[in-house]
Structure 1
Amino acid sequence: MKQIRYYQIITAFCCLLLISCGIDKNLKKGEKFLSLGEYYDAADQFKQAYTKTPPKERENRGKLALKMARCYNKINSTPKAVNAYRNAIRYNQASLDDRLAYARLLLKNGEYKQAEKEFKILVDSMPDNILAQNGLKSAQMAPGWKKGGSRYQVKKMDVFTSRRADYSPMLLGDEYEQIYFTSTRNDAQGDELSGITGTKAGDIFYSEKDDKGKWSRPEAIATGLNTNYDEGACCFTPDGKEMYLTQCVTDPASPRFAQIVTSSRSDAAWGKVQKLEITQDTLSTYAHPAISPDGEWLYFVSDMPGGMGGYDIWRVRITPSGLGGVENLGSPINTPGDEMFPTFRPNGDLYFSSNGHIGMGGLDIYIARIDEKTQQYKIEHPGYPLNSEADDFGMTFEGPHNRGFFSSNRKDGRGYDHIYSFNNPEIVTTMKGWVYEKDGYELPAAQVMVVGNDGTYRKLPVKSDGSFTLPIHPEVDYLVMASCKGFLNHKEELRIDSAKESKEYVLQFPLASISAPVLIDNIFYDFDKATLTPASTQALDKLVALLKENSHVTIELSAHCDYKGNSEYNKRLSQRRAQSVVDYLIAHGIEKDRLTPVGYGKERPKAIRRKLTEKYPWLKEDDVLTQDFILKQTREHQEICNQLNRRTEFKVLRTTYKLF
């Protein structure tokens, strides 16, 4: 019997030794994963060590529970993090900072009453801690926000939803018919699961809306932009030609630091990314890029030194020669908590997410608007249901309207993010303009300057279709100038009345070339005479305004006839007609020495440009409407050709009048 008892003791001892070795092995692995930022794998190892640790070893179990809680917190596994923190507190292993993290997670889990109790204890112990103070106010105010609601309408977008994370949507396209977002779904590149999240590394996915408003099945961008690394949280320059995005490169020997990279679009395809060097600091995170509506500033998130705590929102100026110095946005936007996912509404309002301000729990969306008097930001919480107790972030807007998409992990126990639509019906007044070559196509290289008597001063690029859109204010006078290299400027004035409903003001900016003749539409003369008819007044007044806007330009004003009739007679008639137009311009304030009238008669038949072939498909670009060409056409087409030849044009001669 003694021998049996001896073997039992030896066996128990060996089992305890094996368990101890197993715990040590789990701990070493867990610490290694933790040092690399692989929180999912670290949590798994700490959990195994915790289950192997006997209940009587309260201190060790408490320490392991604390490690688990911190890892679960990092990967948004909120219910698991809450339970682990409770165990750490029960075993008296949680510091005040851990208790604060626990209270903040109770908010995120929607346990507002319990969170309020915890925050009251923390405020007594940490009276100067802003996060504790704001947490207590959040626990007290959140139930009221949830009960009161708001005008926002929110709906989950099942068409974009996968079994993993889908987040940070961003709209693109002239009609906002394209959407880009990040996803860790199984269709993402690579075969390995991330030790950080337990899912595949994120890729940028794309979907397009058809004419009936139906979104296509999302597909990963397959042109070299995505890699086996994490790509996510993208944004675009105002012209849509450049993408900025976050990339996390894997390094098995060191922690992961996110960086911002760029990709250029060529022939509708996105190229391989290039790293954007914001500072020389290689030990800080740079993520969540956002481009200001004027294209002059890059906003981003970083934990670099000089911030207010956690992640802060910073910005850096974009110049033709590169990036300028970085600036921290400071208070009231940044807090000791995390401020992340900045984005802009086209009217200039900055939207961002934070867990440091008073909110409903987790990351809440906030609106930062510039106060016109103080020129300081004012922060607004848009309430429920745009915000929830979970993480809400990553806004994108459908043009000037207060509608679009965002991401949230609400109602997902595993913490995965999904994409939701939002809509907040409101009165929106917008200005939409089109910049194009007179008698030609759109000018995407143009730039628009908008000045308002309310202090507005905006410089806007135009989109690929030559358009621009700007939210504007009622009862304001605007002056809008469009310019493009190689063309004369064009100005429009706009007076906005008080608005009782949404309205869009549409402006046209036909720019005159300085290197090619420009047709003056709707110039009419009496039959066989040089007398201008009253119907010509509107077109001539526009020419007067154009010449006054471009006061350093001299022009040749030419009149042309068709091939019919005597050449000398036609030339004299066209000369008198050109002089009639010049006389009108002089009478309306244009200097005589800026104008040269020339009558060409039928010497210079019209050369067809590509734009005109859209109206007359039987004509080809570079066709010249000579008599021989016209006589080969049908009788109907002959008359059209003759009408095209009977024209009044101007051509820029100099652009330096009275400059020197």
Structure 2
Amino acid sequence: MKKPQNLRSSFSRALSLLSVVLLLVSCGSMEKSMKKGDAAWALGEYAEAAAQYKSAYTRCRQKDKKVRAHVAYKMGTAYRRYGNVARAVGAFRTAQRFGAEDSLTLFYLGEMLQKQGSYKAAAEAFEEFLNQNPKNKIARNYLHACQTAQQKKDAGSVYTVKLASGFNGARADFCPAYMGTEAKELYFTSTRNQALGEDVSGITAMKNGDIFVVRQDETGKWKAVEKIEGDLNSADDEGACSFSADGQTMYLTVCKTDPQYPRMAEIWTSKRSDAKWSKPSALKITGDTLSSYAHPAVSPDGKWLYFTSDMPGGQGGLDLWRVMIGGDHGMGALENLGADINTPGDECFPALRPDGELYFSSSGRDDSMGGLDLYRAREDSASHRWTVEHLPAPMNSFGDDFGITFEGLHNRGYFSSSRSTGGRGWDKIYEFSYPEVLQTVKGWVYEQDGYELPAAQVYMIGDDGTNEKFGVMPDGSFEKTLKPGVRYLFLATADEHLNLKNDLNVPNVEEEKQYVLQFPLPGMHIPVLVRNVFYEFDKADLTENSCEALDRLTKMLKENPNVTIELAAHCDFRGNDDYNLRLSQRRAESVVKYLTEHGIEPDRLTPKGYGEQMPKVVNKKLTETYAFLHEGDTLTIPYILKLTPEEQEICHALNRRTEFRVLRTTYGLFDEDGKLKADLNKKEEE
């Protein structure tokens, strides 16, 4: 009878030993998975980290509640980082149920519930978190956002938003970006199957993204999505792009795949040649190699590159920055956009409209509807302070709303959002529009008798309080929206050139219209042709057809009251030398007489007749009109006599001209003793 008892005892001991071994193996496997998860997290591969933490959680013992809470919390943070909201909510609820000690569990749970549109439950989580952390500004902002979000959603707006047809694939599609003001090509990022590379990203559990393009046909309809020609895309992660003003350079976000280093975002550039994009190269913004740089956006004048970064010196989280773009990819002054824009949360995905408005997404403001929300901002040119406005529903939602692009000055375009993907983190492209009757002005600033002035500045003042200063595009152009019933004044300026003003009265009529303004700025150091000044044949008398040109000259002189000029008249070589000299002098005096009769001080004007002594020197602009001329040629007698009769007549006409050149720019600035005049209002004594 003892033998069976011994057998049972031995079996029990063996079973207990096996349980211990299995427990040790289970614990060892859990710790191994946790280490793998931590390693993946350190590299920024959050999807892989979540998978390892989930594996570790399944190996946790039921009674180890603290361990289960800790592992669930880490699993939730990984889901949160790569945008799987639904699973993040589940993980944080599990951590909370098992008594997670870290109060961030409540914060993250509230954040994820908010991104699901569960505003009441999210508010409860934030309130409980604030009971333990009453000074946390972000949580207080989020709580306020939850308390007002439903009201904003119900209020809606006149914006129309719908899922874009033809762009979206089976996976994530986001960050649409028009190239050029004509808006005929739309670039966007996608993780669809056509993207290069075989690996699934450890960050998102999807393929790495590539940039694709869709183009309009002759009728304005979008054609099929195309792969980008050239060497732009690779097996790495490319996306979130922007373009230089001339469309020849693309700035894009690149995340390199390197198993030994964290997945840091960088900004790279690619050059366009014909229809192909070159292999991109890294853009060095600072010497900081430990921070991320992403989401590039080029300013309309091509002078600034806006981007997002977690580099030191910001307000917290991701901040918006801008850096001056130099030649040959050199970068100039760097500045943070400041507390008007940036918060302790994340600010990202900047986009700029042709009129200078900045759009971006933020997660740190108290008027958010959940996740990243879209905002509009305008910088005051004098104080450099920003005014920020939250876009209403349905532009914003409980999901992430970001990556907006506009069709020129129109209030329509595309953006990306995670609002309808069931919390899986798959972003889609949406189309939006706003009812509008668009009135715009298109302006061109260029050197008189020359080319565009890309460094010109324009001031725009309206009797409605508008007061802006902005740069022009590389081609010297600018485009601005106008308000009906407003009177505007535009002033164009450029170094080494005289200023020029234009008035524009916009009727109080609701109709679409584009006004065009020209700003031919006279240079200060070269003779400037006064076009369309005509004299009676063989006389010094001005014809009526000359009035318009001379009125423009009068206006320019009044707008530049400190300038004095020499008014020069020239003849062709036909006729007696002395006669031509006297005729040209009388003609110059006739022009001066007209100007003084129209309000210009006589001592600002010096008439000078040159006869045929100073033949015209051909500039580059003239060679574009007359192919037989070459830059630098002087239209002398020997030169002209070698030409055909028709070409000779053209050269005679070019030699017969009225010009002016600037003599001084200090007229009226100094008194008789050579001291600078002052007309300052003295402050009253208090």
What is residue 112 of structure 1 aligned with on the other side? Answer: 119
Residue of structure 1 aligned with 2:285, choices 277, 281, 294? 277
TM-fit CA distance, 1:392:
0.2
Match status 1:91 vs 2:91: no
TM-score by structure 2 length?
0.78
Residue of structure 2 aligned with 1:401, choices 410, 422, 431? 410
Secondary structure of the equivalent of 2:416? Answer: strand
What is residue 367 of structure 1 aligned with on the other side? Answer: 376
Secondary structure of the equivalent of 2:146? Answer: helix
* Conserved? CA contact 2:174–2:189, under 8 Å: yes
Match status 1:386 vs 2:395: yes
* Conserved? CA contact 2:487–2:503, under 8 Å: no
Secondary structure of the equivalent of 1:276? Answer: coil
CA distance in 1, matches of 2:393, 2:615: 69
CA distance in 1, matches of 2:606, 2:192: 66
* Conserved? CA contact 1:407–1:417, under 8 Å: yes
What is residue 181 of structure 1 aligned with on the other side? Answer: 188
CA distance in 1, matches of 2:270, 2:80: 32
What is residue 156 of structure 1 aligned with on the other side? Answer: 163
CA distance in 1, matches of 2:164, 2:397: 17
* Conserved? CA contact 2:458–2:490, under 8 Å: no
What is residue 421 of structure 1 aligned with on the other side? Answer: 431
* Conserved? CA contact 1:262–1:276, under 8 Å: no
Secondary structure of the equivalent of 1:594? Answer: strand
TM-fit CA distance, 1:433:
0.5
Residue of structure 1 aligned with 2:541, choices 531, 534, 542? 531
What is residue 683 of structure 2 aligned with on the other side? Answer: none
Residue by residue over 1:527-558, the C-alpha shift from the partner in whole angstroms, topping out at 9 and shown as x without a partner, is: 55443222221111112334555654644633
Match status 1:69 vs 2:80: no
What is residue 481 of structure 1 aligned with on the other side? Answer: 492
* Conserved? CA contact 2:564–2:665, under 8 Å: yes
TM-fit CA distance, 1:136:
3.4
What is residue 681 of structure 2 aligned with on the other side? Answer: none
1:372/1:547 CA distance change after superposition, 3 Å: closer
Match status 1:337 vs 2:377: no
1:284/1:445 CA distance change after superposition, 3 Å: closer
* Conserved? CA contact 1:483–1:490, under 8 Å: no
CA distance in 2, matches of 1:425, 1:501: 13
What is residue 679 of structure 2 aligned with on the other side? Answer: none
* Conserved? CA contact 2:180–2:245, under 8 Å: no
Match status 1:545 vs 2:583: no
1:573/1:83 CA distance change after superposition, 3 Å: same
Match status 1:557 vs 2:568: yes
TM-fit CA distance, 1:386:
0.3
CA distance in 2, matches of 1:596, 1:215: 62
What is residue 362 of structure 2 aligned with on the other side? Answer: 354
Which amino acid letter does the alignment assign opposite residue 343 of structure 1?
A
TM-fit CA distance, 1:149:
1.4
TM-fit CA distance, 1:402:
2.7
Secondary structure of the equivalent of 1:539? Answer: helix
CA distance in 2, matches of 1:249, 1:372: 38
1:73/1:438 CA distance change after superposition, 3 Å: same
* Conserved? CA contact 1:557–1:595, under 8 Å: yes
1:397/1:559 CA distance change after superposition, 3 Å: same
* Conserved? CA contact 1:553–1:656, under 8 Å: yes
TM-fit CA distance, 1:215:
3.8
1:533/1:646 CA distance change after superposition, 3 Å: farther
Which amino acid letter does the alignment assign opposite residue 492 of structure 2?
M
* Conserved? CA contact 1:519–1:647, under 8 Å: no
Alignment of 1:293-308 (within 5 A): 299-305=306-312, 307-308=314-315
CA distance in 2, matches of 1:439, 1:267: 31
Which amino acid letter does the alignment assign opposite residue 569 of structure 2?
S
**Bigger shift: residues 24-33 or 605-614:** 605-614
Residue of structure 2 aligned with 1:460, choices 470, 477, 480? 470
Question: Structure 2: which 5+ residue stretches go unaligned?
Answer: 675-686
Secondary structure of the equivalent of 1:81? Answer: helix
Which amino acid letter does the alignment assign opposite residue 558 of structure 1?
A
Residue by residue over 1:379-416, the C-alpha shift from the partner in whole angstroms, topping out at 9 and shown as x without a partner, is: 43222110111100122333333322221122123312
Residue by residue over 1:195-237, the C-alpha shift from the partner in whole angstroms, topping out at 9 and shown as x without a partner, is: 1122333344444445532345555655665555434333456
TM-score by structure 1 length?
0.81
Secondary structure of the equivalent of 1:160? Answer: coil
TM-fit CA distance, 1:266:
7.7
Alignment of 1:613-632 (within 5 A): 626=640, 629-631=643-645
CA distance in 2, matches of 1:214, 1:619: 45
* Conserved? CA contact 2:326–2:332, under 8 Å: yes
Match status 1:26 vs 2:63: no
Secondary structure of the equivalent of 1:158? Answer: coil
* Conserved? CA contact 1:482–1:509, under 8 Å: no
Q: How many equivalent pairs are there?
A: 648
Which amino acid letter does the alignment assign opposite residue 145 of structure 1?
K
What is residue 169 of structure 1 aligned with on the other side? Answer: 176
1:239/1:445 CA distance change after superposition, 3 Å: farther
1:261/1:417 CA distance change after superposition, 3 Å: same
1:481/1:627 CA distance change after superposition, 3 Å: same
1:41/1:539 CA distance change after superposition, 3 Å: same
1:655/1:166 CA distance change after superposition, 3 Å: farther
1:480/1:502 CA distance change after superposition, 3 Å: farther
CA distance in 1, matches of 2:246, 2:115: 38
Residue by residue over 1:350-396, the C-alpha shift from the partner in whole angstroms, topping out at 9 and shown as x without a partner, is: 43222232322111112345689998655432221101111001223
CA distance in 1, matches of 2:646, 2:514: 47
Secondary structure of the equivalent of 1:536? Answer: helix
Identity %: 43
**Bigger shift: residues 83-92 or 3-12:** 3-12
Residue by residue over 1:443-500, the C-alpha shift from the partner in whole angstroms, topping out at 9 and shown as x without a partner, is: 4454444466777665533334431123456645424124366x65433344556575
Alignment of 1:627-638 (within 5 A): 629-631=643-645
Alignment of 1:221-236 (within 5 A): 228-236=235-243
TM-fit CA distance, 1:434:
1.3
Secondary structure of the equivalent of 1:390? Answer: coil
Which amino acid letter does the alignment assign opposite residue 501 of structure 2?
K
CA distance in 1, matches of 2:375, 2:511: 26
* Conserved? CA contact 2:245–2:474, under 8 Å: no
What is residue 680 of structure 2 aligned with on the other side? Answer: none
* Conserved? CA contact 2:585–2:608, under 8 Å: no
Residue of structure 1 aligned with 2:259, choices 238, 243, 252? 252
Residue by residue over 1:159-179, the C-alpha shift from the partner in whole angstroms, topping out at 9 and shown as x without a partner, is: 432333332333332423343
1:459/1:130 CA distance change after superposition, 3 Å: closer
CA distance in 2, matches of 1:463, 1:374: 23
**Bigger shift: residues 16-25 or 195-204:** 16-25
* Conserved? CA contact 1:247–1:260, under 8 Å: yes
What is residue 594 of structure 1 aligned with on the other side? Answer: 606
CA distance in 1, matches of 2:148, 2:465: 37
Which amino acid letter does the alignment assign opposite residue 435 of structure 1?
V
Secondary structure of the equivalent of 1:170? Answer: strand
* Conserved? CA contact 1:438–1:513, under 8 Å: yes
Match status 1:581 vs 2:591: yes
Alignment of 1:432-443 (within 5 A): 432-438=442-448, 442-443=452-453
RMSD of the TM alignment (CA)? 4.5
* Conserved? CA contact 2:640–2:651, under 8 Å: no
